[in-house]
Amino acid sequence: MAKYCEQYGFDAKAINERLALLGLDERDNALGAQLQQDVIIPGLERIATSFYDELLRHPQMRHFLDNDELIQSLQRTQKNYLRNLGVEFHTCEYFDERLRVGLAHARVGIPLSLYVCAYRLMAQLIYDAFPERLMAEREPREKLAEFVRKITTLDMTLAIETYHLSQMNHLEKSLENLKEEENQLRKKADTDALTGLANHAYVVAALTQALDESRRSATPLCLVMADLDHFKSINDTHGHLAGDGVLREVASRLLP
């Protein structure tokens, strides 16, 4: 199974279910071949150019498509995308590529609402590229137009799937990082900086909780207290740096 299909659970059963939901089956592959031969191949440059020209007319899109290098890169991606639009759409390889497209656009950061609008624009540009001879024949035109609606909807659902999950994974990772930072801050707030032992405030809170629990459960509570004999003389004789060293050494022996 291809990388993204495996990651997002698109095995043969899931692929067939998605296609069935959209009314697509392997018999429609002939329409995919026709779409490429009659529309995409002869109109590729015009469709791709018009797509970004139209997007850049809207301030919301210009905010995200803010440099020529990015636009050129996306145009190349768009052309590669169009070159296999509707071709062998029932395969895992096709699904994998469409799932990858969603991840690529998630990295750009375009909001999902604008993303859906962009798919609608692309479908319209493909319709506009239908040749005159096809437009003159009602049944073939409507049949191919319906296929375009279905195949672009399929592609959009797959791209949105990974786009959405990518954003969710990013949020989950951010939450994990925040929790880790919170734990580190809590540990720092509860710990004596010199010795690494629990500080006075933490000890008082822990003892209060332990005493309450002991009373509720009627179980004994044991507390051990220790003191360093002649510690003041160490500070007076050898200085506070030496005293700090002694405290760290004692603390290291107390820590589990």
Q: Which domains does the chain have, with CATH numbers?
A: 3-181 (1.10.490.10), 200-254 (no CATH)
pTM exceeding the 0.75 threshold for the entire prediction? no
Work out the mean pLDDT of the chain and round it to a whole number: 85
Average pLDDT over residues 236-240: 83
Average pLDDT over residues 180-188: 74
Average pLDDT over residues 83-96: 93
What pLDDT is recorded for position 240? 81
pLDDT at residue 122 tops 90: yes
What pLDDT is recorded for position 170? 62
**More reliable by pLDDT, 127 or 180:** 127
Cα–Cα distance, 141 to 42 (Å, whole number): 17
- Beta pairing partners, 191: 198
What pLDDT is recorded for position 150? 96
Cα–Cα distance, 36 to 23 (Å, whole number): 20
List b or e across 135-150, with b for residues whose CB sees 16 or more CB atoms inside 10 angstroms: eeeeebbeebbebbeb
Residue 103, amino acid: L
Structural contact between residues 47 and 125, judged by C-beta atoms closer than 8 angstroms: yes
**Residues near 162 by Cβ (< 8 Å), separated by ≥ 6?**
4, 8, 99, 100, 101, 102, 103, 106
Cα–Cα distance, 95 to 209 (Å, whole number): 56
Tell me the per-residue pLDDT of 186-225, one tens digit each, with 9 for 90 and over: 777 778 777 777 787 778 887 888 888 888 888 888 888 7
Cα–Cα distance, 185 to 172 (Å, whole number): 20
16: part of which helix (H) or strand (E)? helix 12-22
49: part of which helix (H) or strand (E)? helix 41-55
What pLDDT is recorded for position 48? 92
CA atoms within 13 A on the CB side of 167: 13
CA 17 from centre of chain: 24
Cα angle, residue 100 at apex, residues 60 and 50 outer, rounded to 5°: 45
229: how many CB neighbours lie within 10 A of its CB? 6
